[in-house]
């Protein structure tokens, strides 16, 4: 599959959120969406990133953004993650890896010299018309919101 680029139409998807509700990208037409992909609930980097988005959520909303986190964890894992860290935004369960594959973020990773398949942490900013505005591949997990706003202001 061809790699997504800024200016491309964002691939459409429908998946279940942490409450078992069906959510589609089309639900957010007319809003700017921060669609961030992360490897796993409750891991240090993913928790730092989610908490940064939580801490800056009102500020991002006031700028017209909706935040959606996506990982291949299931709904119950997302629900626990949301409750443990009081996350105010949507977490999508992508257990069948449909969304991570559409967005090209599922790939080979390396840890301690072992190769395995996983989600590459990536953030997409999708505009009101469903077009990819920005792609951030080297995410600063502790300062994800500030990094995002800085990238958008350049």
Q: Whole-angstrom distance between the N-terminal and C-terminal Cα of the chain? A: 29
Active-site residue, selected from the candidate residues 46, 87, 139, 144? 46
What SS3 string covers 3-68?
Answer: CCCCCCECCCCEEEECCCCEEEHHHHCCCEEEEEECCCCCCHHHHHHHHHHHHCHHHHHHCCEEEE
- Is 51 one of the catalytic residues? no
Q: Label the pairing between strands 106-111 and 90-93.
A: unpaired
**Known catalytic residues?**
46
């Amino acid at each position: 599959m061809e790699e997504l680029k800024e200016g491309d139409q964002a691939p459409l998807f429908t998946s279940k959120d942490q409450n078992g509700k069906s959510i589609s990208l089309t639900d957010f037409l007319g809003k700017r969406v921060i669609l961030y992909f992360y490897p796993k609930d409750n891991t240090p980097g993913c928790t730092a990133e989610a908490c940064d988005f939580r801490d800056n959520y009102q500020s991002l909303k006031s700028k017209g953004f909706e935040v959606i986190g996506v990982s291949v964890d299931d709904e119950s894992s997302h629900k626990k993650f949301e409750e443990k860290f009081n996350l105010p935004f949507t977490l999508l369960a992508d257990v069948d890896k449909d969304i991570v594959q559409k967005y090209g973020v599922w790939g080979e990773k390396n840890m301690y010299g072992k190769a395995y398949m996983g989600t590459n942490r990536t953030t997409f900013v999708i505009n009101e018309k469903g077009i990819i505005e920005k792609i951030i591949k080297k995410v600063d997990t502790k300062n994800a919101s500030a990094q995002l706003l800085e990238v958008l202001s350049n």
